[in-house]
Structure 1
Amino acid sequence: MGQNRRYGSDLTDAAVTEAVTRPMPISLSEAERGAGAVREAEEPPEVEAWVRFPETPVRVRGRAVAWTDRAFWVEFEMRSGATHRVWVWASAVTGVPTGRSQ
């Protein structure tokens, strides 16, 4: 009978990641991110960060819009176009300029 052929598949890592995650990431609590001052970036640098979703952690590309001594507030976009901001541990973020603490 028929054959199962796929043409133009959208089976990329990003598509699979979005298919298994809910649209809302899990952010650190206020206590976890620290009581210190929150510093906002004038020009948020591009970063990569591990963000937790209920089902699985996902590595995203985004911008570090603010930080404390322990955490970063990372803004990123999903393939659907939805933009999220989530607090993550500082150790979960790479690509941050070394002068961030000033």
Structure 2
Amino acid sequence: MFLTRARPISLSADELGADPAAAQQPQRDPIDVDAWVRFPETPVRVCGRAVAWTDRAVCVEFTMKDRATHRAWVWASAVDRRSAR
């Protein structure tokens, strides 16, 4: 029996809407965000950081409860900037 951890489903290079190499350049000041990220089983709302973006998509870095850190490209409309508290 094998146990595998679900990995988020990221947008394709065509969906990013920009040169994928340019989009991969991390931003100097990541932005705290809440985002919907798709997994094979279900979408999950995560607290994370926007680490790169294009005009259509955002690369969100987040840590799950099991302490595994992931990055996934999601549609920009699936991301909300977290307000300062």
Q: Which residue of 2 aligns with 1:90?
A: 76
TM-score by length of 1: 0.68
| Matched-pair identity in % | 64
Aligned positions, number? 76
Match of 2:8 among 19, 25, 28: 25
Please tell me the root mean square deviation across aligned C-alpha atoms, in Å. 1.8
Relative to its length, the structure with more helix (as a share) is: 1
Relative to its length, the structure with more strand (as a share) is: 2
Amino acid at match of 2:47: R
Q: What does the per-residue CA deviation read over 1:61-94, in whole Å, with 9 as the maximum and x for residues that have no partner?
A: 0000000010000000011110000000000000
CA contact (8 A) 2:32 2:48 kept: yes
Max Rg structure: 1
- Cα distance in 2, alignment partners of residues 55 and 23 from structure 1: 8
Q: Secondary structure at the match of 1:40?
A: coil
- Cα distance in 1, alignment partners of residues 26 and 80 from structure 2: 17
Structure 1 segments of 4 or more deviating over 3 A?
none
Q: Which residue of 2 aligns with 1:73?
A: 59
Amino acid at match of 1:79: K
Match of 2:26 among 40, 46, 56: 40
Q: Which has the higher contact order (CA 8 A, sep 6+)?
A: 2
Q: Which residue of 2 aligns with 1:50?
A: 36
